[in-house]
Amino acid sequence: MSLSRLYLSSFRNVSTADLELVPGVNLFCGANGSGKTSLLEAVHMLASGRSFRSRESRSVIQYGCDRLTVFGRLADGVTLGVERGRDGKGRIRINQSPAASSSQLAASLPLQVINSESFAALDGGPGVRRQLLDWTVFHVEHRFAQHWKSFQGALSQRNALLRRGKIEPEMLRPWEQQIIQSGELVDELRRSVFERLRVLFLDRVGDLPEEHFGGLDVRLRSGWKKGLSLAQALEAGREGDIAQGFTRVGPHRADLRFGVQGQPAHLVLSRGQQKMLVCALRTAMAHCLGEGHKPVFLIDDLPSELDTDNQKLFARWISQCADQVLVSGIEQEMTAQAWRALPSPWSDPKVFHVEHGTVSAL
């Protein structure tokens, strides 16, 4: 999967840009505040309907403008379009027809992002890691979205009843049936994808120095006590749930745990080592999608935190699991050097210079 054209207007400091992108590496270079990250952010909006920096699309719309537009054409000819207005209204189009939901964008343009927020995969809450796993499951197992939606629907009904307090357990039962049925399926799909993801992830970790990463492992926690079925866990927790007013067990509490020598990875690894671990995870996730569905990578400021060898290793991992990467960096040569030793087309980046929101291909 790759983007051949990216058009944006009124997107932060970029008034308009119309770019021909290449498979392989697209480098966006320029000074602080020139608009490099905004270009990556626009691609993210194209693939998800939202920004990776702000929940509020109003802050992304250029000052003094009413709406932003992002349009993209994929290499296979599919077109995607997103519009967001200051009035909160928006439009999503795929092949010029209105799309029902932003998940259709995600299915058309799978995306992986590496930026300063990426450390949250290790030091953030479980929700961040669940999202990463679910991104993979969503793209690999097409039944997942439907089971997850059904689970979430039943969960929010059960929680609404629990919040009311003073309820009879009988009132919860119909929603519990649905929670159990779809929740077990969600867990099953997550487990099967996780097994493959773990192998691919540890494969990459094997490229990292044994002395620091030798004892590393990742485990999936289902969100309820090991050895119990979801039905048994719900039963055991019902009284406590009624007292607390929410459902405390289930796949909505699942987590991935990264450990090194029995310690949480983020408490023992350096910043650069943590970043490489996240890169290993994200390239392993990309690998799970397989040929024909490879994601596009967005890397905001590749050189930050990584030494030259690690930048090269990450570039190699990407070349093995993606068709295209959009990379930002302040200095052109520093950002380009990681790709030079790779085979074509990776060795020959297309460079764009970004200055005060104006983008020009060099």
Ligand X SMILES: Nc1ncnc2c1ncn2[C@@H]1O[C@H](COP(=O)(O)OP(=O)(O)OP(=O)(O)O)[C@@H](O)[C@H]1O
Contact status: 26 vs ligand X (CB under 6 A)? no
Tokens of 356: 């005060």
Contact status: 330 vs ligand X (CB under 6 A)? yes
145 is in an annotated binding site: no
Contact status: 84 vs ligand X (CB under 6 A)? no
Contact status: 63 vs ligand X (CB under 6 A)? yes
The one segment of 31-39, 129-137, 152-160, 286-294 that binds ligand X by CB under 6 A: 31-39
Kindly tell me which of 84 and 129 has the beta carbon lying closer to ligand X. Answer: 84
Contact status: 37 vs ligand X (CB under 6 A)? yes
Beta bridge partners of 19: 6
The one segment of 55-63, 100-108, 131-139, 270-278 that binds ligand X by CB under 6 A: 55-63
CB atoms within 10 A of CB 147: 21
Find the shortest distance in angstroms from Cβ 37 to ligand X.
3
Q: Is 178 exposed, middle or buried (0-12, 13-18, 19+ CB in 10 A)?
A: middle
Contact status: 35 vs ligand X (CB under 6 A)? yes
Contact 131, 113 (CB under 8 A): no
Q: Which helix (H) or strand (E) holds 289?
A: helix 271-289
Q: Give the dihedral of Cα atoms 114, 120, 126, 132; nearest 10 deg.
A: 0
The letter for the amino acid at 267 is: L
Find the shortest distance in angstroms from Cβ 57 to ligand X.
10
Kindly tell me which of 33 and 264 has the beta carbon lying closer to ligand X. Answer: 33
Contact status: 13 vs ligand X (CB under 6 A)? yes
The one segment of 36-44, 218-226, 241-249, 331-339 that binds ligand X by CB under 6 A: 36-44
Kindly tell me which of 10 and 108 has the beta carbon lying closer to ligand X. Answer: 10
Tokens of 55: 């929940």
DSSP-derived letter for residue 343 is P
37 is in an annotated binding site: yes
Tokens 């003094």 map to which residue? 64
Tokens of 279: 């890169």
Kindly tell me which of 29 and 338 has the beta carbon lying closer to ligand X. Answer: 29
- One residue of 9, 34, 51, 115 binding ligand X per CB under 6 A: 34
Contact letters (x/-) for ligand X, 282-321, by CB under 6 A? ----------------------------------------
Contact status: 38 vs ligand X (CB under 6 A)? yes
Contact 204, 317 (CB under 8 A): yes
Contact status: 50 vs ligand X (CB under 6 A)? no
- One residue of 32, 96, 97, 344 binding ligand X per CB under 6 A: 32
Contact status: 36 vs ligand X (CB under 6 A)? yes
Q: Cis bond leading into 295, ω under 30°?
A: no
Which residues, 6 or more positions from 342, have their beta carbon under 8 angstroms from its beta carbon?
315, 316, 319
> How far apart are alpha carbons 311 and 314 in whole angstroms?
5
The one segment of 54-62, 195-203, 260-268, 275-283 that binds ligand X by CB under 6 A: 54-62
Contact status: 159 vs ligand X (CB under 6 A)? no
Q: Is 32 exposed, middle or buried (0-12, 13-18, 19+ CB in 10 A)?
A: exposed
Contact status: 49 vs ligand X (CB under 6 A)? no
Tokens 């007292």 map to which residue? 243
33 is in an annotated binding site: yes
The conformational region for residue 244 under phi > 0 = left, psi -120 to 50 = alpha, else beta, is: alpha
Q: Give the dihedral of Cα atoms 57, 59, 63, 65; nearest 10 deg.
A: 10
The one segment of 34-42, 151-159, 221-229, 280-288 that binds ligand X by CB under 6 A: 34-42
Q: Which helix (H) or strand (E) holds 181?
A: helix 169-205
Enumerate binding residues for ligand X (CB under 6 A). Answer: 12-13, 30, 32-38, 59-63, 328, 330
- Annotated binding-site members: 30-37
Residues placed in the known binding site for ATP: 30-37
